[in-house]
Structure 1
Amino acid sequence: MSATSELKEDDSTDDKVKLAQQEETRNKSAQVLLRRPVSEDGADVHQLIADCPPLDTNSLYCNLLQACHFSGTSVAAELDGKLVGFISGYIVPERPDTLFIWQVAVAEQGRGMGLAGRMLREILARPACADVRFLETTITPDNDASWALFRSLARKLEADCADSVMFDRERHFRGQHDSEMLLRIGPFDASRKVAG
């Protein structure tokens, strides 16, 4: 066998492995259940966030309130009965056209299948977000994954995306936390909110 044919076989094997992995990811993604969180999710949400640095952990009580009071604007992702993703969000008081996304957490076994984007679109499609035309979140300057996620969402929504400092490292955090940049997406058309 020539070196060229060995390379072709190796390439073919690599391609088959990649295709099999892609198929497995698609199947896994299809099995993920997206639902409104419930109070019983609070402890699992707390653990998930702790397992997803660089996210800041909140008190368990805070996560219980997120699962109860903000369930219409938050989402839990479940795979094989286990919580593998969670997004907390709320409608900004006195601005019913703005959804603020507090935290996005995806467990290791939920990564690589576009789950975070799916969860965001799930929230935007909910009745609680019927009047939403803007989405806001805060991101630290070095959180590349979050910047990519939200910029991708802005492109899918065909909406503008702007950022500014919301909470400054020195002024607000007294040097104990990186600055949090406010990312604002919008305005977007309601009909674009569920675009894949």
Structure 2
Amino acid sequence: MSSAPGPTDTGTGFVLAEPTLRDGPDLWRMARESEVLDVNSPYSYTLWCRDFAATSIVAREGDRPRGFVTGYVRPDAPGTLFVWQVAVDPERRGLGLARRMLDGLAERLVPRGVHAMEATVTASNTASAALFGSFARDHGAELVRIPLFGPELLDGHEAEALFRISPLGTT
């Protein structure tokens, strides 16, 4: 996945674009401030911005990232985008930014052969369940929920269900 597309102006004061190396610290900060995401090291977010920029997206307000979606195309399922994390700055929540980013990512990746989106969601994360549910509905896709990782695999962390949305690109 190469040839980075130009930024997309959402008409809302936010511009959607691929993340850059300079965005790594802001992604880490937003993950930490989310209070629901498992926070990785600052290094890992910067590395993600290098290695998975083509399958991730940031929402910028001016020069500052205000939200992000990190994802990757699964090596054993090249038509499937796995969404790793979604976060929005606390002071920018409630504006539909997470959904705009998912839509922008799908718009960018469907023409490149992505036809399905996956993410894992805990039972207590009702905001993510609602986000992926509305995304599937509005894209005319089916959302299938499958138990994936139990707490015994996650060192006591809450179980994660796989949300699989497909097909994409049919509407």
Give me the TM-score of the superposition, normalised by structure 2. Answer: 0.89
- Bigger Rg, structure 1 or 2: 1
Matched residues in 1 for 2:58 and 2:143: separation? 26
Would you say 1:73 and 2:55 are equivalent positions?
Answer: yes
C-alpha displacement of 1:29: 6.4
Match of 1:21 in 2: none
How many equivalent pairs are there?
162
1:174 partner letter: D
Give the superposed CA RMSD: 1.7
Q: Distance in 2 between matches of 1:154 and 1:128?
A: 14
Distance 1:127 1:107 in 2: 24
**Comparing both structures, which one devotes a greater share of its residues to helix?**
1
**Structure 1 stretch 106-115 or stretch 32-41: which is displaced more?**
106-115
Pairwise CA distance, 1:156: 0.8
State the SS of the aligned residue for 2:151: coil
- Mapped to 2, the partners of 1:191 and 1:163 lie a distance apart of 20
Q: Equivalent of 1:187, from 162, 167, 170? A: 167
The alignment status of 1:90 with 2:68, answered yes or no, reads no
Of 57, 60, 63, the match for 2:42:
60
Q: Distance in 2 between matches of 1:37 and 1:75?
A: 6
Unmatched runs of 5 consecutive residues or more in structure 2: 1-9
1:173 to 146, 154, 161: 154
Instruction: State the match for 1:111 in structure 2.
Output: 93
The reply on whether 1:30 has 2:27 as its aligned counterpart is: no
Return the alpha-carbon distance in structure 1 between the equivalents of residues 57 and 31 of structure 2. Answer: 14
The structure that is strand-richer by fraction is: 2
1:154 aligns with 2:136: yes
How far off its partner does 1:62 sit? 1.2
1:127 deviates by 4.8
Percent identity between the two aligned chains: 38
Q: How far off is 1:80 after superposition? A: 3.3
**Is the alpha carbon distance of 1:155 and 1:161 closer, same or farther for their aligned partners in structure 2, counting shifts above 3 Å?**
same
Where do 1:125-136 residues align within 5 Å?
A: 125-127=107-109, 130-136=112-118
The Cα shift of 1:108 comes to 1.8
For residues 140 and 129 of structure 1, do their structure 2 counterparts lie closer, same or farther at Cα, with a shift above 3 Å needed? farther
2:48 maps to a residue whose letter is Q
Unaligned runs of 5+ in 1: 1-27
- Given that residues 29 and 115 in structure 1 are in contact (C-alpha distance below 8 angstroms), is that contact kept between their aligned partners in structure 2? no
Please tell me whether the aligned partners of residues 38 and 71 of structure 1 are also in contact (alpha carbons under 8 angstroms): yes
**Rounded Cα–Cα distance in structure 1 between residues aligned with 2:111 and 2:80:** 8
Find runs of 4+ consecutive structure 1 residues off by over 3 angstroms: none
2:55–2:109 contact (8 Å) kept in structure 1: no
Q: Kindly indicate whether the alpha-carbon contact (under 8 Å) linking 2:20 and 2:49 is maintained by their aligned counterparts in 1.
A: yes
Question: Do 1:73 and 1:129's aligned partners in 2 also have CA atoms closer than 8 Å?
Answer: no
